[in-house]
Amino acid sequence: MKSPTNYQHLPPGPKGQLIGLFKLNQINHPLHPLPALTLTCIILETMRLYPPVWAMPQTIATECKIGAYPVKRGHGLLACQWIVHRDARWFSNPDTFNPERWDNDLAKRLPSFAYFPFGGGTRVCVGKAFAMMETVSVLATIAQTYRFTLVSEQPIQPWASLTLRPQQPKL
């Protein structure tokens, strides 16, 4: 498995140029215009393929059927972002890192829980909006000066600990 090479999607860092907080979604460098591709798209796509919370244990509240499977009240199941986010019904070429797919409001067109890096329902992550703003800010700040490259071609193995992380982080 290859790591997302999202640095390829970013224009070269405009050194010394401060990107205003309200323009963080759009780095539009005159030499490398990528106006349609926003940092938000890059982050949404990264969390699609590499959801920081890769699965959430749930307790069934009401007896029902999920697909062909009857489930009883009190039973447990795993709502697994890692699997659901790679469903070809909602994401064409699901294993390909393609931030452009989030253009044209894909997020609004998806069925509920086709994409849920922050969970959903009554217990949805309370830090969701803050986390998105923070991640976009950090990526925009770093991208002004630095580009990430791998030190080797060694594939990065995801490690499914409580949160998803690389087994041997090497940048």
With respect to ligand HEM, which residue has the nearer C-beta, 130 or 146? Answer: 130
Cβ proximity to ligand HEM: between 20 and 57 the closer is 57
Residue 17: CB minimum distance to ligand HEM, A: 26
With contact defined as beta carbons under 8 Å apart, do 27 and 143 qualify?
yes
Q: Is 124 in the site for ligand HEM (CB under 6 A)?
A: yes
Tell whether residue 83 is a contact of ligand HEM (CB under 6 A). Answer: no
Cα separation, 57 vs 40, in Å, equals: 27
State whether residue 76 is helix, strand or coil. strand
Count CA atoms closer than 13 A to 117's CA, side-chain side.
19
> And the tokens for 103?
């253009």
Q: Which of 34, 71, 125, 142 binds ligand HEM (CB under 6 A)?
A: 125
Instruction: Check binding of 52 to ligand HEM (CB under 6 A).
Output: yes
Q: Stretches 34-42, 61-69, 94-102, 123-131: which one binds ligand HEM (CB under 6 A)? A: 123-131
Q: Under rule CB under 6 A, how many of the chain's residues touch ligand HEM? A: 15
- Residue 94 in the binding site for ligand HEM (CB under 6 A): no
Token digits for 86? 């790679």
Comparing CB distances to ligand HEM, the nearer of 14 and 52 is 52
Q: Is 131 in the site for ligand HEM (CB under 6 A)?
A: yes
Give yes or no for a contact between 8 and 97, defined as CB atoms under 8 angstroms apart.
no
Contact 8, 121 (CB under 8 A): no
Whole-number Å distance between alpha carbons of 75 and 55: 16
Residues near ligand HEM (CB under 6 A) are: 52-53, 56, 117-121, 123-127, 130-131
